[in-house]
Amino acid sequence: MTLRKMACRLALTTALLTTTAPVALAQTAPPPERREVGTLVFDGIPAIPPGLRPQIQRYRNARSASFQDWLADGSMLITTRFGETAQVHRVAAPGADRRQLTFFGEPIAQAVAVPGAADRYAYARDTGGAEYFQIYIAGLDGSETPLTEPGTRNEDVIFSGDGRTAFWAQVRPGEPDYDIIAADLTSGARRVIYEGSGAWSPVDASRDGSRILIGKYNSIQDSQLWLLDTATGQASRIRPGSTPVSYGQAMLTPDGRSVIATSDEGSDAQRLVEISLADGELTPLTGEARWDVEGFDLSPDGRVLAWATNEDGFSRVHLRDLRTRRALPQPNLPVGIVGALKFSPDGQSLAINMSTPASSGDVWAWNVDGGGLTRWTSSEVGPVNALTFVTPELVRFESFDGLSIPAFVYRPTGGEGRRPVIIDIHGGPEGQSRPGFNPTYQQWIADLGAAVIVPNVRGSTGYGKAYVALDNGPLRQNSVQDIGALLDWIATQPDLDPERVVVHGGSYGGFMVLASLAAYSDRLAGAVDIVGISNFVSFLENTEGYRRDLRRAEYGDERDPAMRAVFEQISPLNLTDRMTRPLLVIQGANDPRVPRSEAEQIVRAVREDGRPVWYLLAMDEGHGFRKKSNADAQAEVTNLFLRDVFGLGVAP
């Protein structure tokens, strides 16, 4: 269980080109009126030309399979989308049909098998993207029983090894403190077993449920592990100390004598360690390395340890006999990203969720003793030829202070002349852009002839704890200057057009978009802000209570006068007079992380400065669009906007 870490192509398509002038962004005429279509509100956005939709839809039907868990009989639970949202499916054997188990309008967030049961699992579901998740125990026969208290937010469900008790974290509206809840699966009775102060979550449980490993998350660089006696409610901290340590995954060993975890204690990167519960002694299982261990699992008998390293954004899987410390054969995987590692109940197979730039996520199984990969799922990429998909090039550019910044560059193949550029900035900020499957990038390359650049500016994870701290608090604007340095680099590339560059990003990436628009409007063609922060003071005051202190640890505390002064200086809402290029804003009305008010105040302010803004609002979404019809509309609006600012025509 992971501790909380609180989400192109060839030539232009001729069918979309026209010799007429591009759609105007209403710079010389009043913007189109606000209109509502179902749950979507189009404010200042022109109607979508019919010729645009079918071109985009070629790339909107790709599906992926996300591994969730093994059932006791050796079958798998996955989530995948065959309609509007991702739902739970069972796959009985490699290549077998995906049998759908849940049928909801809202997507399923998590599915976990009940240990020892071949027919029961738990799943989490919210309503309208509000992230107040409820957990249910479900059967393969379609039956379900609610496990959690309505009106609360619940997450990170785990089970005792005997499958009799469920544990999860619960927080009430407006409160910052999570409690640990236990429920008897026979009687359904639940009780608070630990009253937390801050962000707590259950991590792993002993077989009989008498002890559970729990974690406290203070910030990306400061977390703690504790051992909780579930009968008495007494908790003891594992390896207490004054120096902050960041833990990622953690689990109890089968004999209950130690904890295996990823930790940056004594290292710049996350490495695997074993911690004795008797005396707290720490034994490194992987040596000092440049790259983070991003995930791991231990076989049920405690014999085989499997882990994945994140090497400059690319995943590599390793296996070792934990008792002999001998390296075992490891799968030869394509260049891409591993999304999950999990041993089967009998320990013979290791599930691996894998995606590459040219293939959507699918599930494979590695035979631990005999070697060999077996493919369990085969997901479609849609009615397009995956052989034409562009694989990114990893580059590094120098920022204003000499810091080397990594970025993935997707360059269109064929054609002549300088290409327009889309810079896509990840959220977090404790996140990392990686070279997985992204049909949006591929569609931009193919239909717009655009290059896509995906930077990992300072503050990104995956490059060590020193790098992730480089944008904290008053250093925030330094990451914006990294985008300025990227614009300098673009100008040196003979195939990229520095006059046609758009910044695009969501959440914290949305802040980066707005901040870049304020700082570099003279060097940009436009900007796309998705659920982005427009003012740090109002954001911190209005984000959900369970997130507020966690965000203060990263961004700074708005109650501190000195930090508030920094926020007033750098918040995009106070810099709208500098935003002279077209802006598209996209928002979910129920967003608990970056509230709707952040989008609407930047839209209003830019319009009051006399400049146009397109604003797309989904009334049934939260922090990003998760329903296919809404995501399709977002893609259509974004493409229309990009075509306009790049000076491309659109067929009527």
pLDDT (mean) for 70-85: 95
Residue 27, pLDDT score? 43
pLDDT in tens, 455-481: 999 999 999 999 999 998 889 999 999
Residue 241, pLDDT score? 86
Residue 109, pLDDT score? 82
Residue 290, pLDDT score? 86
* Residues in the chain, overall count: 652
Cβ atoms of 551 and 558 closer than 8 Å: no
Is the predicted pLDDT of residue 521 greater than 60, yes or no?
yes
Residue 32, pLDDT score? 55
Residue 83, pLDDT score? 87
pLDDT in tens, 280-321: 999 999 987 789 999 999 999 999 999 999 999 999 999 999
Residue 30, pLDDT score? 56
Residue 601, pLDDT score? 97
Is the predicted pLDDT of residue 6 greater than 90, yes or no?
no
Amino acid identity at 88? V
Residue 487, pLDDT score? 98
**Chain centre distance of CA 414:** 32
Residue 649, pLDDT score? 80
What is d(CA 252, CA 160) in angstroms, rounded to the nearest whole number? 12
Is the predicted pLDDT of residue 625 greater than 60, yes or no?
yes
Is the predicted pLDDT of residue 622 greater than 60, yes or no?
yes
CA nearest neighbour of 356 among 341, 383, 334: 334
What is d(CA 527, CA 510) in angstroms, rounded to the nearest whole number? 9
- Which secondary-structure segment (H or E) carries 566? helix 561-570
Residue 31, pLDDT score? 53
- Work out the pLDDT band at 20, boundaries 50, 70, 90: very low
Residue 473, pLDDT score? 84
What is d(CA 354, CA 362) in angstroms, rounded to the nearest whole number? 6
pLDDT (mean) for 167-196: 95
- Work out the pLDDT band at 639, boundaries 50, 70, 90: very high
Q: What angle do CA 396, 399, 401 make, to 5 degrees?
A: 135
Residue whose pair of structure tokens reads 């640990």 in the numeric block? 180
Is the predicted pLDDT of residue 5 greater than 80, yes or no?
no
Is the predicted pLDDT of residue 28 greater than 60, yes or no?
no
- Which secondary-structure segment (H or E) carries 54? helix 52-57
Is the predicted pLDDT of residue 21 greater than 50, yes or no?
no
Residue whose pair of structure tokens reads 């930090």 in the numeric block? 563
Which residues are CB-neighbours of 218 under 8 A, at least 6 positions away?
198, 199, 224, 244, 550, 553
CA nearest neighbour of 82 among 59, 57, 65, 58: 65
pLDDT in tens, 239-270: 998 899 999 999 999 999 999 999 999 999 99
Residue 651, pLDDT score? 55
